[in-house]
Amino acid sequence: MSTRIINFFESTGLSWLAPFVKLITGDNRGQQLNIIFKSLGIPLVAFALFLFFWDLSASRVNTSLGTLPGPTQVMEQAQGLVVEHNAEKEKEEAFYERQEKRNAAKLAKNPEAKVKWRNYNGRATYVDQIWTSLYTVFTGFLLASFIAIPIGIVCGLNQTVYSALDPLIQIFKPVSPLAWLPIVTMVVSAVYVSDDPMFAKSFVTSAITVTLCCLWPTLINTAVGVGSIDKDLINVSLVLRLSWFQKLTKVVLPSSIPMIFTGLRLSLGVGWMVLIAAEMLAQNPGLGKFVWDEFQNGSSNSLGRIMVAVLTIGFIGFILDRLMLTLQRRVSWDKSAILK
């Protein structure tokens, strides 16, 4: 049991939790405590120092919105945001409850009556913004992966296709997707027209912007991974007369999986960063909009709230990367490779 838990932690990059399991199950306590101190104690001390210097320096910076918030103020704001969220959710529930009661009463009076159902249109809370951003980044990222991996494979297998696409890739890769944002916005407004749209336009715009920056790392890494397959392995597939599809699934894909995942990880990281900026710039719902709104709001709480958002963005980015790392470890055949 404990080995299984430890293996799980190691595969998810949470190997620092493993000594705790060992400590609880009781093998060699002194040694485990030592490991815990090294793997956890030192980072914790460093973190405490960071908080200390933050607190010390923040109170010395005066802005038009008051001094910069220190750790305590930020903590207060974070709690405030959670309270706000809960209050909003309660309001929403109450709204639906009232509506149901009203409709039920109406139907009881006259079963033929037409009942109207209205959705609650409350303010998006901080937690809602987080979910919106996550949903958007994954949509954009998945869309990019579905485009980039197949093209990358074709580029890796076929030198002609690669030479044809290489200039395009090299030119578009360094472009900040934010430069695309106005064009994407205009194109989406012009093309995505429907009376009952499945997605909001702002969502589509943000997602496509994320897609535009997620494409390149995946595409290039896939092409390189596929292109660098051992020549002998290709010869093996020739000698075995594997069909095109078999060659793809038995040789090409497994062999390039590590590189493909390196690309995917980079893509998701870049996508998350770009999404926040895009949301700020385009006023599309999400964490970026939250930051921008708070900035425009300019209350004495704003800086603290923005700081909460900054930390949330960092933390989510970290979790996303761990998620990809875990997935990469899971699918990679080369267990000896050190993935960080």
Partner 1 sequence: MSSSYLSIEQVSIEFPTPKGPFKALDEVDLRIDKGEFISLIGHSGCGKSTVLNIVAGLYEATSGGVILDGKEVSEPGPERSVVFQNHSLLPWLTCYENVKLAVDTVFTKTMNRRERHDWIMHNLDLVHMTHAARKRPSEISGGMKQRIGIARALSMKPKVLLMDEPFGALDALTRSHLQDSLMEIQADLNNTVIMITHDVDEAVLLSDRIVMMTNGPEATVGEILNIELPRPRHRLALADDPTYNHYRAQVLSFLHERHSKPEAA
* Minimum separation from the CB atom of position 153 to partner 1 (A): 17
* Minimum separation from the CB atom of position 253 to partner 1 (A): 10
Query: 11 vs 255, which CB is nearer to partner 1?
Result: 255
The single residue listed with the structure tokens 């934010």 is 178
Query: 147 vs 339, which CB is nearer to partner 1?
Result: 339
CA–CA distances in Å: residue 124 to residues 89, 121, 151, 316 = 10, 9, 38, 19
Cα–Cα distance measured from residue 133 to residue 278, given in angstroms and rounded to the nearest whole number: 11
Query: 85 vs 250, which CB is nearer to partner 1?
Result: 250
Q: Which one-letter amino acid corresponds to residue 41?
A: G
* Minimum separation from the CB atom of position 256 to partner 1 (A): 11
Query: 160 vs 336, which CB is nearer to partner 1?
Result: 336
* Minimum separation from the CB atom of position 62 to partner 1 (A): 60
Structure tokens of 253?
A: 């894909």
Query: 222 vs 302, which CB is nearer to partner 1?
Result: 222
HSE of 213, CA atoms in CB hemisphere, 13 A: 28
* Minimum separation from the CB atom of position 178 to partner 1 (A): 39
Structure tokens of 75?
A: 């903590």
Q: First vs last Cα of the chain: how many Å apart?
A: 26
Query: From the CB of residue 51, how many other CB atoms can be counted at a distance below 10 Å?
Result: 12
Contact 304, 290 (CB under 8 A): no
Residues forming contacts to partner 1 in the complex (CB under 8 A) are 230, 232-233, 235-236, 238-242, 246, 250-251, 254-255, 257, 333-336
HSE of 246, CA atoms in CB hemisphere, 13 A: 9
* Minimum separation from the CB atom of position 7 to partner 1 (A): 18
Write out the E strands in 24-91.
Answer: 62-63, 66-67
Query: 66 vs 254, which CB is nearer to partner 1?
Result: 254
Q: Which one-letter amino acid corresponds to residue 194?
A: S
